[in-house]
Structure 1
Amino acid sequence: MQHAYSDDFPEPVATPAKVEGQTHLTADKLDGEMNKVLKARGNVVVTRDDARLTSDWLDYYQDKNELKGGDRFTLTRPHERVDGTTITYDMDTHTGDGQKPVFSGGTPPMVLRGNGERVEFRGPDRYALYNSRATTCSVNDDSWYLVSSRLDLDYTTEVGVAHNAWIQFQGVPLLYTPWIDFPLDGNRKSGLLVPSFTSGTRGLGIALPYYWNIAPNYDATITPSYSQTHGTGLGLELRYLQPDYSGTIYTDQRLNDPTTNTHRYLWSVKHTQTLAPGLTMGVDATTVSDDNYFTDFADRITIADNTNLLRQAWVNYAYSWNGGSASTGLVAQRYQTLQNTSNSVTPPYALLPQLSFSANQSLPANFSANLTSSITRFSHPTLQEGDRTILYPSVSWNFDQMWGFVKPKIGVNYTYYDLSAYSGTAEHSITRTLPIFSTDSGLYFDRDTTLGGTNYTQTLEPRLYYLYVPVRDQSKIPAFDSSLNDFSFARLYSENDFSGGDRINGANDLTGGLTTRMLNVDTGREIARLMVGQRYYLNKQYINSSGTIVTHDSNSNYLVSLAGEPIEHWNFDSLLEYDPISRQSQQYNAQLRYQPATGKTVSLRLRFQREGQTDVDGNLQDLHQIDFGFQWPLTRNWYALFHKQYSLQDKQALDTLAGVEYNEGCWTLRLVADRYVTNYVNVTNSIFFQIELKGLGDLGTSPLETLRLAIPGYTKTNESQP
């Protein structure tokens, strides 16, 4: 027979109503002296609020509200459970200790479980486990454990701290540390992060980052490091976020690099701020100590992106009114240009400063008035300098219907150059005034069709774009910021073939284009998209990059694009530029990708551009490359990783990457080797080794950014498909 007892009643009663703060006890047998000690034997269950304790036997000291129990006990609270042999527990303070604990706590996916010799209960949701092992792996999976002499778990602050700890991975002890802390809920917290290791051409290296969670909107990462080649270093990244401003400050310092015997460094600052409604400002600046900094310390992604290091500060004010808006901005900008020993680079012009203003106003009958303008002072250490003023007012009309659109536009581009304050061979002042007229128009047709029992919608979208700009010689105008845009569909339908404001192509052109699409009615999937376009030159004169008037053929090259997903998970994309006069392709690229699920992707890309690169001597030569990559499962857990970029023109591999990824659910291993060309003569080798432990962190150096760049569609196998 089971008995029940409550400490708020003078005598035992059966199944009383549950009251907050009340201790309720049931057992097969109850005896003892009231208000002193109550002995419960067999199937003992004690509950108080959200805590529940079960055991084989239990002594309940009523005056202290303390319990002693065994031979087996189970203590549960929401999202927490501790099993053991014997227990001493204070129901008021939730303190005590237990022997031979087996524990689990937290909410998915961050559930920590393990065992130890003794557990110390330190209050609600606070524990200390001695000589323990802990893991986030599921039950019956003992792939890895965090072994420690003492493990403090505080679920009120969601912080775990391990003392004299190491990682035991597949039975092998790794990474001993006298102290380590980690979040119990997966959120950020202060503490040592897992060290990262590097190897390859630059030699062995190790970095030990410390994360400082200063406040909810401030944090910092301090990273001392050592490189076999470049000695000791110290990195610091500070991030901050406020309602009106945010930013990042980063630096890496090498006080005495053995390879150069100099102090080497990187500084980077990014800051944006709202000063008042509509008024914003920002700073974006990066500087390094020498031209070879990124080659020696960065990965290939950073090397490729950092030939010209931006240093910019700006202020912008934007405002709007009924039917209109305007913005004005002031920017100062210059670059640090990193020179390549095999091929020198001309630095871009500095803007010191540039003041810009733009506005638009809606007018009746779908008309609108627009203005773009700027005043810029261009500075350069070796090239012609000067001031440039641009005023470009225009009026446009927008007639847009479901069946088509017509968008005419007329404007006048006025440009003034003041070169009198600067040395050079150009004239002291130059004025250029060019009217610009364009009309963009298109029609939409569609029809329903059925193929193989599947319903489709086929569209037909013809488009005509007319552009008129008088041809004016611009050879005496400096080219401060202009360059010829790549030939593309966007350029076919734009009013200027050049970027910047120094070159405006003369034109009396008509561009004709046609797009047709095949859409699956049920899924909306674009089965195929074909685009064709060509520009017809009614006036054969045009402006080249130097500003000189030259002639071209009657028609431009053809542009053809074919893309779509003809079969589910199979994506195809291609672009071809074909010269009908020489009957040669000027450029083409085609990519085929198959991606049926997470961890499964195969891609093949072919790219060609006539005179699209320079050789080691600075001469133009064709660019002809093939690119192949895949991520594919070998077994249930093993995945193969591969990427190769090969230059058919140079007959050499530009990049070769090979690796494996193993996903066991609660841990993932990645081993990747990468060999890539950094310039015309140098090759860099890198080896990435990473063990990612679910909920705790990762060991080694992460190859994820390299894999995402090298293998289109790469996904982490322990994450869902994006």
Structure 2
Amino acid sequence: MMPLAGLVAGMAVAVPPLSAADAPTAAELDWRPRAELPAGVQARLPAFCDGGYLAPEGAAGGDELFAGAPDTGQPLRASGLSARYEIDRELYLSGDVRLQQGRFVVTGDEARYDQAAGAVSVSGPLVSRGDGFLLTGERADYDLGSGRFDINTATFLLHGPEMRGSARSLARISENQVEISGGSLTTCAPGRNDWALVASEIVLDRAEGFGTARHVRLEVRDIPVFYWPYASFPIDDRRKSGFLYPAFGTSNAGSGLYLSTPYYLNLAPHYDATLNPQYIHGRGLFNEVEGRYLSRFGESVLQLGYIGNDVEYQDENPGADGERWALDFSTRAQLGGGWAGYGDYSVVSDDDYLSDLNRTLEINQATHLQRRGGFRYRDRSQFFEAYLNGYQTINDRIAAADKPYAQLPEVLYGVTTDFGLLETSLESQYSWFYRDNTGLTGLDRANGQRLRLLPEVAVPLRAQWGFARPSVTLDHTRYQLDDYDPGSSIERTVPVVEWDSGLYFDRQSSLFDIPYNQSLEPRLYYAWADADADQDDIPDFDTALKSFSFDRLFQRNRFSGGDRVGDANQLTVALTSRFNDLLTGAERARVSLGQVYYYDDREVTLDGLGADNRSDSPLAGELVLRPLDTLDIRSSGLWDARTRKTEEGRSQLVFHSADYRYLASIGHTYSRDSFEQSDIGAVFPVTDRVSLIGRWVYDSQLDRTVGTLAGLEYNNCCWSVQLVNQSYLTDDSELDNRILFQVQLKGLGGSSGSSSQISEAIYGFDERERRRFGDRY
């Protein structure tokens, strides 16, 4: 028998009781229109929400249904306006009844406490509030010994996920388990049943971290649209096996109409898998699977795709058997002591797999698939890395002589040491290059080994007002070649002298009453490299001519890779000015301009490119403006003073409102006589709930549209929908059109399809998605 404490009885007042049918639901008790919410809550509330839930002042927070469960180790405290007590038998309370045991509180009109049975019955309308949980009903029975609590005609509210519901009956049968009969739940505002999940029976098990439901149906505007005979779902952060939301879409090229029904397998705390069977019209049943494994060192991910009989592929490729597959594997490991390991391997059965079938494999649409794995070590003064690297070429238009070499292996080592004023360093690289040279001749046929050493001695001088760093480097390379007739051994040694120096001036002022700091940073960089002009007998294993830009002003070698060392005798003159907001520290503007002056002709070439006899470079400049925290304007380019023409240019404006409802980006990319594209993208709300989504990419050289994205988005406080049409230029110069559709139910997730594609196309959309259904209070 539980002790009874705190009995309070008062004078009864003749006020007609409120019937349970007329009593407000749990959601209605705590719902507040937008205008009645505190200013801070209103500021975080999305524009498409009419209001939100707010617990009374002093109510505990949290979002667990079980947080307000009765504590059977605590005494029961009871109060009411009037009381009748039969010693050792029964206590009867009426009028503003309040019962409390630990953190469990229930209020109602009447209560009877049977001391012999240790049971309390409360008649309503009654209200029970716990930490982040509110419950109302007509009648409740409570067993003081077991803690079981049964309530009839119940409504409930979970403040954390903003989920409300109702039940014919609700029973807390043990400390960790709740049973709901004839229940429904939704995240829509009171009075709005845009969608709801209705089930004949729901069991929530906190010990296991999931709930189960039987005879579940999804209702839209009280109309059933989907049925599950059985469903399970998580109620905390623990993962649970089960079906994920289906995805569907269509494409006029490649995939056609498709429907997928992914299933998640929670196999163990440290590994899981997702199966994704899909039906693709015209192709048949296509399956994808992803497995993830987490160890104390890091994470590994394996992804597979397979279709046994692709009918459309057989029709397009007579003689093909229709069996197609792909594999993508990645792993990362932190081994401790500065050591790390990594691996990436991708392979597809045919060149058209990615454009025809790939949806979830993390393989970029590319001409080559990389396979790379190795180890690296780093500390304050040393760096070491060794790896194997290879490729699968998936474009049959690439000639054998243009296919990349594999590195089997490549080993890198670097070390830096200080000796007083002197700083010495060594960069080294050993590579064994290989590719299939069947049918190739001459230099294209060469395979072999390359050793490159770059010892350097420098004098780094630094002060607040500037810096200087003179250095001398010896760039030595040795080759041991196979399948190359003129000679198997080649050596090249190039002495290099560099002097990098700069000054720093600043002043403080104000603009529009905002203090700022302006800096003026002149910089001089000189480079001399005595490289032999004739390096044409050296194969091209991994080298290319770098594109010229502002960053290239301070690099002495105009070639990437290690097979060409450019000759140099040049001076770079550059100037940068920055404007920093002293209140926030933000860089509001940066302007940079520079030019290279050449004192000798450049003679070293790669495939005929890289030589030049002019005495100066085009002017290279960068402009970055950030007048607002939500607006970025960037422009960079090359301008030739001799021809008075722009050689290259890239400009971009990116804007987002503080809440990311408005997004806009405008871009232009230009390379004289070869490339020019314009790019416009935006998300524009036409009302608080409806937004237009669009992107357009136009190629002036091709005089055609090469990509579009157009769609509509509808949001309210409990669900959203996106309908998007996407087109992009394929390898065969056709526009592939895809229709993507996504529905999101707040609190329950949604179908996949459009959001990832929009995020790739429009800057800031992924942040907008995170905020749309994120935490609001």
Q: TM-score, normalised by structure 2?
A: 0.84
- 2:615 equivalent to 1:561: no
Counterpart pick for 1:44 among 84, 97, 101: 97
Tell which deviates more after alignment, 263-272 or 274-283: 274-283
Identical residues among aligned pairs (%) = 29
- 2:220 equivalent to 1:160: no
Q: Counterparts in 2 of 1:528-543, with a 5 A limit?
A: 528-543=589-604
Counterpart pick for 1:325 among 350, 356, 381: 381
Residues 250, 257 of structure 2: 8 Å contact kept: yes
Counterpart pick for 1:354 among 391, 410, 413: 410
- 2:118 equivalent to 1:118: no
SS at match of 1:290: coil
Distance 2:767 2:410 in 1: 44
Shift of 1:433: 0.5
Q: Quick one: structure 1 residues 185 and 57, their matched pair in 2 at CA, closer, same or farther if it must change by over 3 Å?
A: same
Residues 697, 705 of structure 2: 8 Å contact kept: yes
Q: Quick one: structure 1 residues 140 and 184, their matched pair in 2 at CA, closer, same or farther if it must change by over 3 Å?
A: farther
Cα RMSD, aligned residues only? 2.8
Q: What is the match of residue 303 of structure 2?
A: 250
Shift of 1:172: 4.1
Q: What is the match of residue 617 of structure 1?
A: none
Shift of 1:37: 3.9
Shift of 1:717: 4.4
SS at match of 1:244: coil
Counterpart pick for 1:639 among 677, 681, 691: 691
SS at match of 1:702: coil
SS at match of 2:354: helix
Distance 1:569 1:316 in 2: 39
Residues 453, 476 of structure 2: 8 Å contact kept: yes
- 2:550 equivalent to 1:489: yes
Q: Quick one: structure 1 residues 303 and 19, their matched pair in 2 at CA, closer, same or farther if it must change by over 3 Å?
A: closer
Residues 2, 145 of structure 2: 8 Å contact kept: no
Counterpart pick for 1:391 among 440, 444, 453: 453
Q: What is the match of residue 291 of structure 2?
A: 238
Shift of 1:71: 4.2
Q: What is the match of residue 47 of structure 2?
A: none
- 2:3 equivalent to 1:8: yes
Distance 2:735 2:72 in 1: 74
Counterpart pick for 2:423 among 368, 377, 399: 368
Q: Quick one: structure 1 residues 300 and 266, their matched pair in 2 at CA, closer, same or farther if it must change by over 3 Å?
A: closer
SS at match of 2:312: coil
Distance 1:426 1:566 in 2: 61
Q: What is the match of residue 131 of structure 2?
A: 78
SS at match of 1:541: coil
Q: Quick one: structure 1 residues 718 and 135, their matched pair in 2 at CA, closer, same or farther if it must change by over 3 Å?
A: farther
Q: Quick one: structure 1 residues 713 and 26, their matched pair in 2 at CA, closer, same or farther if it must change by over 3 Å?
A: closer
- The superposition leaves residues 365-412 of structure 1 with CA deviations (integer Å, 9 ceiling, x where unpaired) of 2x2211111221100113421111111111122112111110122111
In structure 2, what residue type is equivalent to 1:195?
P
Alignment size in residue pairs: 694
Tell which deviates more after alignment, 212-221 or 663-672: 212-221
Distance 1:277 1:102 in 2: 56
Q: What is the match of residue 653 of structure 1?
A: 705
Distance 2:283 2:399 in 1: 25
SS at match of 1:407: strand
SS at match of 2:672: strand
Shift of 1:479: 0.7
Tell which deviates more after alignment, 174-183 or 449-458: 449-458
SS at match of 1:635: coil
Q: Which gives a bigger RCO, structure 1 or 2 (Cα 8 Å, sep 6+)? A: 2
Residues 476, 547 of structure 1: 8 Å contact kept: no
Shift of 1:236: 1.9
Tell which deviates more after alignment, 282-291 or 188-197: 188-197
Residues 471, 549 of structure 1: 8 Å contact kept: no
Counterpart pick for 1:334 among 381, 386, 390: 390
Q: What is the match of residue 18 of structure 2?
A: none
Q: Quick one: structure 1 residues 697 and 566, their matched pair in 2 at CA, closer, same or farther if it must change by over 3 Å?
A: closer
Q: What is the match of residue 672 of structure 1?
A: 724
Distance 1:343 1:30 in 2: 96
Tell which deviates more after alignment, 669-678 or 37-46: 37-46
Shift of 1:362: 1.9
Residues 507, 542 of structure 1: 8 Å contact kept: no
Shift of 1:240: 2.4
Q: What is the match of residue 619 of structure 1?
A: none
Q: TM-score, normalised by structure 1?
A: 0.90
Q: Counterparts in 2 of 1:134-213, with a 5 A limit?
A: 134-185=185-236, 188-201=239-252, 202-213=255-266
Counterpart pick for 1:602 among 647, 656, 664: 664
Shift of 1:157: 4.4
Counterpart pick for 1:517 among 578, 584, 597: 578
SS at match of 1:542: coil
Q: What is the match of residue 34 of structure 2?
A: none
Q: What is the match of residue 12 of structure 2?
A: none
Shift of 1:91: 2.6
Q: Quick one: structure 1 residues 121 and 582, their matched pair in 2 at CA, closer, same or farther if it must change by over 3 Å?
A: same
Q: What is the match of residue 128 of structure 1?
A: 179
Shift of 1:294: 0.8
- 2:129 equivalent to 1:68: no
Distance 1:315 1:550 in 2: 38
Q: Counterparts in 2 of 1:441-452, with a 5 A limit?
A: 441-451=501-511
Q: What is the match of residue 343 of structure 2?
A: 283
Q: What is the match of residue 381 of structure 1?
A: 436
In structure 1, what residue type is equivalent to 2:412?
S
Q: Quick one: structure 1 residues 345 and 692, their matched pair in 2 at CA, closer, same or farther if it must change by over 3 Å?
A: farther
Distance 1:332 1:607 in 2: 36
In structure 2, what residue type is equivalent to 1:369?
T
Counterpart pick for 1:424 among 473, 476, 484: 484
- Stretches of structure 1 that go unaligned for 5 or more consecutive residues are 1-5, 612-621
Shift of 1:552: 2.0
- 2:748 equivalent to 1:696: yes
- Stretches of structure 2 that go unaligned for 5 or more consecutive residues are 10-70, 314-320, 438-443
Distance 1:91 1:78 in 2: 20
Shift of 1:675: 1.0
In structure 2, what residue type is equivalent to 1:240?
Y
Residues 346, 363 of structure 2: 8 Å contact kept: no
Shift of 1:690: 1.0
- 2:679 equivalent to 1:627: yes
In structure 2, what residue type is equivalent to 1:480?
F
In structure 1, what residue type is equivalent to 2:338?
G
In structure 2, what residue type is equivalent to 1:330?
A
Q: Quick one: structure 1 residues 581 and 425, their matched pair in 2 at CA, closer, same or farther if it must change by over 3 Å?
A: farther
Counterpart pick for 1:506 among 541, 544, 567: 567
- The superposition leaves residues 253-303 of structure 1 with CA deviations (integer Å, 9 ceiling, x where unpaired) of 222222234222221111223456334332211111111111012369977
Shift of 1:27: 3.1
Q: What is the match of residue 40 of structure 2?
A: none
Q: What is the match of residue 707 of structure 1?
A: 758
Residues 354, 365 of structure 2: 8 Å contact kept: no
- 2:634 equivalent to 1:544: no
In structure 1, what residue type is equivalent to 2:463?
Q
Distance 1:276 1:402 in 2: 37
Shift of 1:448: 2.9
Shift of 1:343: 8.9
Distance 1:304 1:389 in 2: 32
Counterpart pick for 1:579 among 629, 640, 649: 640
Residues 479, 546 of structure 1: 8 Å contact kept: no
Q: Quick one: structure 1 residues 195 and 567, their matched pair in 2 at CA, closer, same or farther if it must change by over 3 Å?
A: closer
Residues 339, 345 of structure 1: 8 Å contact kept: no
Residues 167, 181 of structure 2: 8 Å contact kept: yes
In structure 2, what residue type is equivalent to 1:178?
P
In structure 1, what residue type is equivalent to 2:743?
I
